[in-house]
Amino acid sequence: MGSAAARKSPAPNKEWPGLAATLAAFGDEALSRLLSLRPDLARPAPHDLSALASRAGAWPSARDAFHRLDRAAQRVVEALCLLDEPTTLAELASTLDVDDADADLASALARLGERALAFVTDGPHAAVRLLSALRQLDYPARLGPPLRSMTAGPPALTLDQVAVRLGALPTRATPATVASVAAMLADPATIERVVAEGPPGTADLARRIATEGPLVRVEGGAYRVDDRTPAGWLLNRRLLAVVDYFTAVMPREPALALRGGHPFPPGSLRRPGLAVALVDAEVVDRSAAEQALLVAAEVAALLELWDAEPAVLLKAGGLGVREVHKVAKLIGSTDLRAARIVDLAALAGLVAADAMAGLALPTIASDAWRALEGPARWAHLAGAWVASDVHLFLAGAISSKDKPIPPLLNRAPERDAPRRRRSVLAVLEAAVAGTAPDGLGVHHRVDWESPALWAGGPASPPVLVSWVLQEAELLGVAALGSLSTAGRAMVAGRPDDATSELARLTPATVADFVVQADLSAVVAGEPAVAMRAELDLLADVESKGAATVYRFSEASLRRAFDTGRTADDIVGFLERHATRGVPQPLAYLVTDLGRRFGNVRVGPVTSYVRSDDPALLAEVLATRRAAGLRLRRLAPTVAVTHVAASTVTATLQAAGYLPAQEDVDGAVVLARPPARRAPARRTPARHTAPEPDVATIVAGLHRRLPPAGTGSARAAPPRTSPPPVSPVAMARPTQIAKDPWAVRALLDAACEEFWLVRLSYVDSQGRSSELTVEPTDVEGDRLYANCFPRGNQRTFVIDVVEWARVLTEAEEDQLA
C-alpha cells in the first residue's frame, strides 16, 4: 500500500475529463442507483456534483465500495491495478484470460461503472479507466510489487550476488544487472529451476506464497538468512524481498511465473454454479410447516415456564446450563436447541434479560404475541429472525474459551448478520420451488457475491453460511434445503401471505374437544386461542402435535380455582366445548374440588387483637374510638385489622383499655406476586441510520459541471463566501457550524488557534458519531486532527462533518 502522503494526493489523470464530469453525464436514474449502491455517498446529502465526485473518488469510500463488490468485479479491479493506465479492453481481457467480448467481463465492468469505480470510454481505442483511488489497493490479485519498484534486500546482499546465485553473469553496469535479474525472475523456466534446486520444501513454499501470498512470515527473521532454509534460499535469490524483520514479500514477476503467467485462475469471472437436489415441494411445505408450528409452540412453552418461574441469569450474563436444560426438558429437545429457542424468543422481543434483577423474563410484548394464532406467532418469529442482527446459532457454539456460548448473553450485535442472512436466503429464493441448492454450493455462491460480507464474522464463512441454512430450517422457513412457500413469502417481505400459507397447512383450528373418563381431553387439531388458554389453565398438556392431549388432574383444576374459576364456570366451559359430553367422574372431580376449595382460608392481616374474654372483645369492637381500626372478628376471641400493631395498641390505650402487644412469631403471609415483565427489548434496528432518500438527494444535486480548469475530482468545494481569516487571535465562536463552508472556516480557525472542536461525523457505514478533536491541519477537503482523549491521529472528510462547534474554555479545562 502506498504511504499516507500518496493517498492524500494521487496523481490526477490529465487525459480524462474527471469523475465530476463523468458523473455529470449520469442520468437521474444512474445517479440514484449510484447512491443506493454506495449509500455512504449520500450521508450527509452532497451539495453538488463536485462534492459527490470528491466523495466518490476518495479512498475510504472507494475502498468500501471495492470490498462490497462481488469476486468477478474485484478481479477486474485487481487486473486493472496490475495494468498501466490507460488500459485497453483487450489488455484487460487478456490479463483476465478471457475473450474481449466475454459476457462475464462485460457485466462486471457494468457493475463497476454503475458504482463509479471504473469506466469504459468509447471510441476507436476503447479504454478502461479505474478510479485512481483504487490503485492504492494492497497487493491486487495477491501479487507483490514489481521488481523495479523494489530496492530493499538483506543488507549484505548485493544485486550481483543475486545475479550469480540465479546463474547469470554479473555485469559492471547496474542497470544491466537489474534488467538481467528481472528477466530471470520473470522467466518460468529459471524460477522452476531455482525452486527445484533449493532445500526440501522450497518448491512448496514458493508455490504457496505465489498463490496465497504475497507476504510470508519468516521464522527467525528475514535478515539472518542462508541457503539452508527454503525461505533463506528464496530470499537470497530475490524470489522474496524483505518487508520488515519477520516479513518477506514475493515480487510480482516470480509469483506470476509460478502461476504459469496467469494472474488469475481460469474461470475467475464466472459465477459459481449451484448444484441442486430435487425435492418434493409439497413435502417441503409440510415439513417446514410442522417445524414452524413446533418452534412457535416451543417459544410459547418457554414463555409459560418463565411466567411461572423467571430464569436466573449467570453472574457473567447469559443463561446457565441448568436453566437451558430446564427449558430443554420442558420442550423435550436437546440443550442446544433449547438455547436457540431462548435466543429466538429474545431476538423476537418476547423474552429479555433483566440485568438488574438477574432474571430472564417474558416481555410486555409477549402478551400480545400470545394472543395470536399459531401461524401469526410464527410469522412474528420468522420476521424478527430475517431482520435480526443476531446469529441465532451463535448460542451453543463453542467460544474462543472452549466453552459453549450461553443464550441471552448481551452480545454485541452483528451488523452484517441481516445482510448475510439475506444473501443466503436470496440464493434459496432464486432456486426454483422443488429444488434444494447444495449447502456448500450456497457458500461458494454467496462468498462470490460478496466476499467481504463473510469475512470477520463470529465464525468462518462456511460455518456462517451453514448457520443461516440451519436457522432457516429451525424456523421452518425452509425444509430439506429448500424454501417453503410460506418461507418464500416471508423472505420476500409478505408476512401476511406467509401467515395464510402456513395457516393452510396448519391443522384446522378447532373450538371443541373430546373428554374421556380417564380425565383426558383430546383437541383434534390446532386449538382456538381462547379455548387453548382456558384448557391450559384447567389441564396439563400430555402430548402435542397435530392434536393436543390434555389431562385433568386435581392439581391442574386447583390451579383454575386459584385464578377464581368456580366449579360452575369449569363445568360450564367443559359442557360448551366437549362434543361428547362431560364424563361423570370429571364433573364429580370438579364439584368435589369446588366443595373443598377454600376450606382453609388465607388472607393478609397486619395485626390482631385477641382476648380470652369474648365479651371484652365484643366491647372493644363496639367502641366508637376503635372504629377507625376497622377490626374484623374472625372468632369469638380473635379480631384482625390491617392497621399496624403499634397503632392498634395506641388507639386501644387511648380508649382506656390495657392492651399488651404480642411478639410476631413465625407465620409469614405469602401473597402470590404478580407476573413480572421485563422491559421490551430495544428495537433490533438500533444502529442503522435511516435509509437516505436517494430521490430527494438526486433531485437536489446541482446538475452542473465544476468550473473549467478544476477538472480534478479532488477540487475543494468552491467557497461561496470565504470567511475572513484574521491574523490576530480570534474570539472563540459559539455558534454551531453546519454548512460545509462554515464548518471548514471553523476548522481552519481552530487549527490556527489551537482550539478543541466537538463535531459530528458520518463514517463510511453511514453511522454518525460525535467526538472531540484537536484539529492540526486542513488540506483540500480533509481535516487532520488528533482525537480526544486517546490522541490518535485521524483524517476526516470535511464534507461529511455534519456539524462542528468550538469547545468553550471551561469545557477544555474540564477535559484537561
Partner 1 sequence: MTDTAGPLIVQSDRTLLLEVDHPDAEACRADIAPFAELERSPEHVHTYRLSSLGLWNASAAGHDAEQVVDALLRWSRYAVPQALLVDVAEVMARYGRLRLEVDEVHGLVLRSTDLAVLTEVLRAKAVAPLVGPQIAADTVVVPRGERGRLKQALLKAGWPAEDLAGYVDGTAHPIVLHEGRGFDLRPYQRQAVDAFFAGGSGAIVLPCGAGKTLVALAAMARASARTLILVTNTVAARQWRAELLARTSLTEDEVGEYSGERKEIRPVTLATYQILTTRRREVYTHLELFSAEDWGLVIYDEVHLLPAPVFRMTAEIQSRRRLGLTATLVREDGREGDVFSLIGPKRYDAPWRDIEAQGWIAPARCTEVRVTLTDEERMSYALAEAEERYRVGATARSKVAVVEALSAEAVAHGEPTLVIGQYIDQIEALAERLGAPLITGKTPTRERERLYQAFRTGEEMLLVVSKVANFSIDLPEASVAIQVSGAFGSRQEEAQRLGRILRPKRDGRQAHFFAVVARDTNDQEFAARRQRFLAEQGYAYEIVDAEAVLDAAAARARDARRGELPPPTP
Does residue 511 interact with partner 1 by CB under 8 A?
no
Whether 92 contacts 83, CB under 8 Å: yes
User: At its nearest, how many Å lie between partner 1 and the CB of residue 294?
Assistant: 7
Q: Which stretch binds partner 1 (CB under 8 A): 113-121, 392-400, 468-476, 585-593?
A: 585-593
Q: What is the 3-state secondary structure (H, E, C) of 39-105?
A: HHHHCCCCCEHHHHHHHHCCHHHHHHHHHCCCHHHHHHHHHHHHCCCCEEHHHHHHHCCCCCCCHHH
Q: Does 517 bind partner 1 (CB under 8 A)?
A: yes
Report, in Å, the least distance between residue 578 CB and partner 1: 10
Find the binder of partner 1 among 554, 562, 739, 779 (CB under 8 A). Answer: 554
Instruction: Give the CA distances from residue 212 to residues 74, 207, 250, 459, 592, in Å, rounded to whole numbers and listed in that order.
Output: 16, 8, 11, 21, 80
Sole binder of partner 1 in the list 585, 614, 636, 700 (CB under 8 A) = 585
Q: Is 244 in the site for partner 1 (CB under 8 A)?
A: no
Contact code string over 467-496 relative to partner 1, x by CB under 8 A:
------------x-----------------
With contacts defined by CB under 8 A, name the span among 124-132, 136-144, 359-367, 515-523 that binds partner 1: 515-523
- Residues 592-651 close enough to bind partner 1 by CB under 8 A: 596
Q: Is 772 in the site for partner 1 (CB under 8 A)?
A: no
Nearest CB to partner 1, comparing residues 3 and 584? 584
Shortest CB 593 distance to partner 1, Å: 11
Please pick, from the candidates 193, 504, 702, 719, the single residue that binds partner 1 as defined by CB under 8 A. Answer: 504
State yes or no: residue 733 binds partner 1 (CB under 8 A). Answer: no
Binding mask 521-550 for partner 1 (x = CB under 8 A): -x-xx-----------------xxxxx-x-
In this structure, what C-alpha cell is assigned to residue 181? 535479474
Cβ proximity to partner 1, 158 vs 333, nearer residue: 333
CB of 574 to partner 1, least distance (A): 14
Burial 566-600 (b: 16+ CB within 10 A, else e): ebebbbebbeebbeeebbeebbebbeebbeebeee
Burial of 524 by CB count in 10 Å (0-12 exposed, 13-18 middle, 19+ buried)? Answer: middle
3: contact with partner 1 by CB under 8 A: no
Quick check: 514 binds partner 1 (CB under 8 A)?
A: yes
Q: Shortest gap between Cβ of 539 and partner 1 (angstroms)?
A: 13
Q: Among residues 48 and 526, whose Cβ is nearest to partner 1?
A: 526
Nearest Cα to Cα of residue 121 among 113, 111, 129? 129
CB of 213 to partner 1, least distance (A): 45
Closer residue to partner 1 (CB): 516 or 760: 516
Query: Nearest distance from residue 556's CB to partner 1, in Å?
Result: 13
Sign of the alpha-carbon torsion through 486, 488, 491, 493: negative
Write the interaction track for partner 1 spanning residues 6-45; mark x where CB under 8 A is met and - where it is not: ----------------------------------------
> With 0-12 CB in 10 A as exposed, 13-18 as middle and 19+ as buried, what is 45?
middle
- Does position 243 interact with partner 1 (CB under 8 A)? The reply is no
If the CB atoms of residues 312 and 593 are measured against partner 1, the closer one turns out to be 593
Residue from 519, 535, 567, 800 touching partner 1 (CB under 8 A): that is 519
Q: Which CB atom, from 468 or from 479, has the smaller least distance to partner 1?
A: 479
How many CA atoms within 13 Å lie on the side-chain side of 599?
A: 7
**Judged by CB, which is closer to partner 1: 176, or 278?**
278
| Phi, psi dihedrals of residue 80, rounded to the nearest 5° | -65, -35
Strands 509-510 and 526-527: parallel
Binding residues for partner 1 restricted to 270-299, rule: CB under 8 A: 283, 286-287, 289-290, 294
Shortest spacing between CB 583 and partner 1, in angstroms: 7
Tell me the three cell numbers of residue 279: 425435492
Minimum distance from residue 545 beta carbon to partner 1 (Å):
3
CB of 501 to partner 1, least distance (A): 12
Nearest to 409 by CA among 504, 316, 490: 316
382, containing H or E segment:
helix 374-387
Binding mask 365-384 for partner 1 (x = CB under 8 A): --------------------
Q: What does each C-alpha distance from 433 to 379, 428, 429, 498, 564 come to in angstroms?
A: 20, 9, 8, 15, 52
Pattern of binders to partner 1 over 306-345, x per CB under 8 A? --------------------------x-------------
Give the Å distances, CA to CA, from 582 to 231, 587, 608: 87, 7, 46
CB 302 within 8 A of CB 369: no
**815 lies in the binding site for partner 1 (CB under 8 A):** no
512 binds partner 1 (CB under 8 A): no
Q: Minimum Å distance from CB 448 to partner 1?
A: 32
300 lines the binding site for partner 1 (CB under 8 A):
no
User: Which CB, 422 or 551, lies closer to partner 1?
Assistant: 551
Span from 249-257, 403-411, 420-428, 507-515 in contact with partner 1 (CB under 8 A): 507-515
If the CB atoms of residues 306 and 550 are measured against partner 1, the closer one turns out to be 550
How many Å apart are CA 80 and CA 74, to the nearest integer? 10
The whole-angstrom separation of Cα 23 and Cα 57 is: 11
Residue ranges in 704-723 that form contacts with partner 1 under rule CB under 8 A: none
CB atoms within 10 A of CB 439: 15
Rule CB under 8 A: is residue 559 a binding residue for partner 1? no
Residues 6+ apart with CB under 8 A from 311: 319, 323, 326, 327, 359, 360
Query: What does the longest C-alpha to C-alpha distance in the chain come to?
Result: 133
Residues 274 and 428 sit within 8 Å (Cβ to Cβ): no
d(CA 338, CA 323) in angstroms, rounded, equals 10
Our measurement of the distance from residue 67's CA atom to the centroid of its chain's CA atoms, rounded to an integer in Å, reads: 17
Phi, psi of 539 (to 5 degrees): -145, 165
- Residue from 457, 583, 740, 766 that binds partner 1 (CB under 8 A)? 583
The helix (H) or strand (E) run that includes residue 811 is helix 809-815
Shortest Cβ 488–partner 1 spacing (Å): 18
Question: Which cell numbers hold the place of 415?
Answer: 451488523
Distances in whole angstroms, Cα of residue 72 to Cα of each of 100, 272, 587: 15, 10, 74
Tell whether residue 507 is a contact of partner 1 (CB under 8 A): yes
Query: Amino acid identity of 441?
Result: G
Which CB, 517 or 668, lies closer to partner 1? 517
Is the CB of 314 or the CB of 524 nearer to partner 1? 524
> Which residues are CB-contacts of 118 (< 8 A; sequence separation ≥ 6)?
76, 77, 80, 109, 112, 128, 129, 130, 131, 134
**Which residue lies nearer to partner 1 by CB, 399 or 553?**
553
Complex with partner 1: residue 254 or 487, whichever CB lies closer: 487
- Work out whether 518 is an interface residue with partner 1 (CB under 8 A): yes
Count residues contacting partner 1 (CB under 8 A)?
A: 36
Using the contact rule CB under 8 A, the part of the chain among 304-312, 459-467, 516-524, 652-660 near partner 1 is 516-524
- List the helix and strand counts (H, then E) for the chain: 34, 27
Interaction of residue 54 with partner 1, rule CB under 8 A: no
Residues in touch with partner 1 (CB under 8 A) = 283, 286-287, 289-290, 294, 332, 479, 504-508, 514, 516-520, 522, 524-525, 543-547, 549, 554, 580, 583-585, 588-589, 596
